[in-house]
């Protein structure tokens, strides 16, 4: 087990009607003017934006608004947001939405607080030293951006999707009312839950020989709980307990809790998905499901015991004659589960048929133009990445 540091500075306000507290939470930040940043329309249609602005009005907080964030949030809107905030003297950003809105808000925050072009920070040419503070009213259990140190933005010039991890962007507060997620389409509920699972699974498949027992059990419990809750939420979208379980798991799965004491895990599937999301504009969680089993079958021989543990403890699979057999049963069971909630387990199941040239391009971009490998459980180079996409 490794030594670790654990930092979760986000003030969580969780439960029914917690939205009414957002005005007071923003006022506590002592800011002059707020940008309310939101997405393509769901927050408007549901009346959530009105509730948020009324709460800010009641607390005497001044604000401007900028909507239009799309899934796989675009750099062009980030730039527009930076310009608007400079013009209006904004010093706090309130993200009303999911991972895409929160990430776009964090990117605007980076652009405001650091010199030069914000994209240079996503390209790792420069390291940001601060971020204009961000808070959120979360509307979907998925990316975990409400408590993570991450922001992922897509640059339309070249369709590059790139992530930036830095402690300074963590949300000051996260308002989480599970009833807000009742309006989610089934596909987004399932895609979001899959992303929640993958944030813990990518940490679980560590190259560490002796991961911390407590961390493993937290991870296994979280995964079992998300599998149960997503099925319940798909059956009854207004099942409060299921929605609450998913929403809290979204945060706990990506705030570092399920990775304490390990090497940080293996984020290959996320790296593989980011290229798919950048090029084909697919839902992030669905893209992860589409690559997971091909990745798993490729790397499992490096440590069948780890996959066998996952199979028996998370998926309830009966142990086979040896670890490899149990591991394979587990991968099959995971695929069956993804299908049962309407998720793909192949790229072709998302209505995409990349040519061989496309697959090589994806692999090339995934290695940052042949300058890096990905993964730790098994290190993958450009050829190995291509083979996984091809599978």
Q: Three-class SS string for 88-144? A: HCCCEEEEEECHHHHHHHHHHHHHHHCCCCCHHHHCCCCCCCCCCCEEEEECCCCCC
Among 51, 74, 284, 306, binds ligand NZQ (CB under 6 A): 284
Q: Is 151 in the site for ligand NZQ (CB under 6 A)?
A: yes
Chain residues 201-260 in contact with ligand NZQ, contact rule CB under 6 A: 254
Among 10, 53, 55, 100, binds ligand NZQ (CB under 6 A): 100
Contact partner at residue 170 from ligand NZQ, Zn ion, none, CB < 5 to 8 Å by partner kind: none
Q: Is 275 in the site for Zn ion (CB under 5 A)?
A: no
Contact partner at residue 40 from Zn ion, ligand NZQ, none, CB < 5 to 8 Å by partner kind: ligand NZQ
Strand order in the sheet with 11-14: 11-14, 173-176, 134-138, 92-97, 33-38, 62-66
Q: Is 128 in the site for ligand NZQ (CB under 6 A)?
A: no
* Residues touching Zn ion, count (CB under 5 A): 1
Q: Is 39 in the site for ligand NZQ (CB under 6 A)?
A: yes
| Polymer length of the chain | 391
d(CA 206, CA 129): 30
Nearest CB to ligand NZQ, comparing residues 264 and 320 = 264
Nearest CB to ligand NZQ, comparing residues 71 and 261 = 71
d(CA 252, CA 203): 12
Nearest CB to ligand NZQ, comparing residues 185 and 316 = 185
Among 103, 177, 195, 266, binds Zn ion (CB under 5 A): 195
Give me the 59-88 binding string for ligand NZQ, x by CB under 6 A, dash otherwise.
------------xxx---------------
Contact partner at residue 254 from ligand NZQ, Zn ion, none, CB < 5 to 8 Å by partner kind: ligand NZQ
Closest-by-Cβ residue to Zn ion is 195
Nearest CB to Zn ion, comparing residues 195 and 335 = 195
In this structure, are residues 270 and 147 in contact, taking their beta carbons and an 8 Å threshold? no
Chain residues 296-355 in contact with ligand NZQ, contact rule CB under 6 A: none
Q: Binding segment for Zn ion among 15-23, 194-202, 237-245, 336-344 (CB under 5 A)?
A: 194-202
Among 128, 192, 245, 278, binds ligand NZQ (CB under 6 A): 192
Q: What is the dihedral of CA 260, 312, 253, 269, to 10 degrees?
A: 100
In this structure, are residues 159 and 196 in contact, taking their beta carbons and an 8 Å threshold? no
Binding site for ligand NZQ (CB under 6 A): 39-43, 71-73, 97-101, 103, 139-140, 142-145, 148, 150-152, 180-181, 183-184, 188, 192, 195, 254, 270, 277, 284
């Amino acid at each position: 087990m490794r030594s670790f540091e654990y930092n979760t500075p986000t003030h969580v306000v969780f439960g029914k009607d917690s939205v009414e507290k957002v005005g007071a939470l923003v006022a506590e930040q002592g800011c002059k003017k707020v940008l309310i940043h939101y997405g393509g329309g769901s927050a408007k249609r549901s009346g959530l934006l009105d509730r948020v602005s009324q709460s800010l009005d009641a607390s005497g907080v001044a604000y401007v608004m900028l909507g239009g964030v799309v899934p796989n949030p675009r750099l062009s809107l980030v730039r527009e947001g930076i310009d608007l905030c400079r013009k209006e003297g904004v010093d706090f950003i309130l993200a009303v939405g999911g991972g895409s809105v929160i990430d776009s808000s964090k990117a605007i925050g980076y652009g405001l607080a650091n010199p030069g072009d914000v994209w240079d920070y996503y390209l790792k040419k420069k390291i940001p030293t601060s971020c204009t503070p961000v808070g959120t009213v979360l509307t979907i259990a998925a990316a975990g951006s409400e408590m993570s140190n991450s922001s992922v933005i897509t640059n339309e010039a070249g369709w590059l999707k790139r992530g930036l991890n830095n402690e300074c962007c963590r949300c000051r507060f996260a308002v989480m009312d599970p009833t807000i997620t009742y309006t989610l389409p089934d596909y987004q509920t399932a895609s979001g839950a899959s992303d929640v699972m993958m944030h813990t699974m990518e940490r679980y498949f560590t190259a560490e020989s002796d991961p911390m027992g407590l961390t493993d059990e937290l991870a296994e419990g979280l995964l079992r709980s998300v599998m149960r809750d997503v099925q319940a939420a798909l059956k009854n979208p207004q099942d409060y307990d299921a929605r609450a379980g998913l929403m809290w798991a979204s945060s706990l799965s990506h705030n570092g809790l399920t990775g304490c004491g390990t090497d940080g895990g293996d984020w290959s599937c996320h790296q593989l998905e980011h290229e798919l999301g950048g090029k084909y504009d697919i839902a992030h969680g669905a893209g992860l499901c589409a690559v997971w089993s091909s990745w798993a079958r490729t790397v499992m021989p490096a440590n069948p015991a780890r996959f066998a543990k996952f199979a028996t403890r998370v998926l309830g699979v009966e142990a086979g004659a040896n670890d490899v057999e149990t591991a394979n049963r587990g991968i099959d069971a995971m695929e069956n589960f993804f299908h049962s909630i309407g998720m793909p387990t192949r790229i072709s199941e998302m209505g995409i048929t990349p040519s061989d040239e496309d697959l090589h391009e994806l692999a090339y971009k995934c290695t940052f133009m042949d300058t890096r490998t990905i993964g730790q459980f098994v290190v993958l180079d450009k050829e190995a990445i291509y083979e996984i996409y091809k599978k």
